[in-house]
Amino acid sequence: QQQVKQSPQSLIVQKGGISIINCAYENTAFDYFPWYQQFPGKGPALLIAIRPDVSEKKEGRFTISFNKSAKQFSLHIMDSQPGDSATYFCAASMIGNFNKFYFGSGTKLNVKP
Amino acid sequence: ETGVTQSPTHLIKTRGQQVTLRCSSQSGHNTVSWYQQALGQGPQFIFQYYREEENGRGNFPPRFSGLQFPNYSSELNVNALELDDSALYLCASSLVSGGLYNEQFFGPGTRLTVL
């Protein structure tokens, strides 16, 4: 059973546009929701994360929106740049369970100049 | 401060063989997690080591085993390799102190190909 479902699988956005990636989870015990960015040949790198006690978190051009009742969260990339082209993964974990993360299947973002 | 390093970068093995992958955790970190990332998929949790003991395991068979050493580096061993074991193996380290979580940092991974 896939604990975290991510969509879309791939996304093409024009430079300056908004990229939106969505995730849904099942386990209500999850209490930490990070987004990771992965470039080819590299390991995932933490981009931004949110706890369920807030509905939105913004860091620069990156925003997480969190809907606890719907068990959904999304990543918005404002003013998307070609350098943002990468694969993005959402994940979920229970802090008390240390680092046992459940990852989504990934979204390959291509920002066209 | 050095980041998480993994060796080797690439590895080719044949079905039935055994393999050992290595990970050096980031300085000051005491916890190492291993993940398997199949092509086009998200990482899947294999297991985690904290203070040299396994502390949580994902849905992987016993032929996947590991070790953590006193310097917090770690090994992942896979016996009786199968074709489906072909994947990128990621190591992530973090500091766990007083039950509090800190960000985990991933290494670049080891690409294992099983023929």
d(CA B111, CA A63): 32
Backbone angles phi, psi at B83, to 5 degrees: -55, -40
Residue A98 vs residue A73, higher pLDDT: A73
Helix (H, G, I), strand (E, B) or coil at A97: helix
Is the CB of residue A41 less than 8 Å away from at least one CB of chain B?
yes
Which of B31, B41, B42 has its CB closest to that of A99?
Answer: B31
Count Cβ–Cβ pairs < 8 Å, chain A vs chain B.
66
Is the CB of residue A86 less than 8 Å away from at least one CB of chain B?
no
d(CA A79, CA A19): 8
Is the CB of residue B70 less than 8 Å away from at least one CB of chain A?
no
Contact by Cβ (8 Å): B71, B78: no
pLDDT tens string B67-93: 999 989 999 999 999 999 999 999 999
pLDDT tens string B5-47: 999 999 999 999 999 999 999 888 889 999 999 998 999 999 9
Concatenate the DSSP letters of all residues of B12-43 into one string: EE-TT--EEEEEEPPTT--EEEEEEE-TTS--
Strands B105-106 and B5-7: unpaired
